[in-house]
Amino acid sequence: MDLKTATALRRLRLVSGPEAISFLLLLVCSVLKRTTDFNAVPVMGAVHGFLFVLYLLFWADAWNRAKWPLKTAALYFVLSVLPTGGFFADRRLKREAESVVIASRARQEGIVNA
């Protein structure tokens, strides 16, 4: 893997947190809509929809660049549809991106011939 792969993983990581937060806020807005007169569902629905589509685009790019097996790609997709899954995806992606950067630097310095 190279630095472009690390960049793709970083983009996915950067959108996973806000996507998870927007999902939780959308759930809260849905409950408030049914229990009070407060209705922010149209706004939060649009925000969450935009972030979810962005997550899917970055997910597809990361899958392509990182050459993930189907199981790993499916895991990151499932995490995107769970209310707090984006936080778990963020943590896993951070570790994966760090290892990609370390491996890339080792190849550049001639430590590893991979």
DSSP string, 35-89: HSS---HHHHHHHHHHHHHHHHHHHHHHHHHHT--HHHHHHHHHHHHSTTHHHHH
- Give the number of other CB atoms < 10 A from CB of residue 72: 15
Best CA proximity match to 59, nearest among 48, 49, 68, 47: 68
Which residues touch 23 (CB under 8 Å, ≥6 apart)? 48, 52, 83, 86
38 vs 6, residue with greater confidence: 38
Amino acid at 33: K
On the question of pLDDT at 85 being above 80, the answer is yes
For the residues 27-51, what does the mean pLDDT come to?
94
The pTM assigned to this predicted structure is: 0.83
Best CA proximity match to 73, nearest among 93, 54, 91: 93
For the residues 40-51, what does the mean pLDDT come to?
95
For the residues 89-111, what does the mean pLDDT come to?
81
Express as a percent the part of the chain with pLDDT over 70. 96
Banded pLDDT at 31 (limits 50, 70, 90): very high
For the residues 60-73, what does the mean pLDDT come to?
93
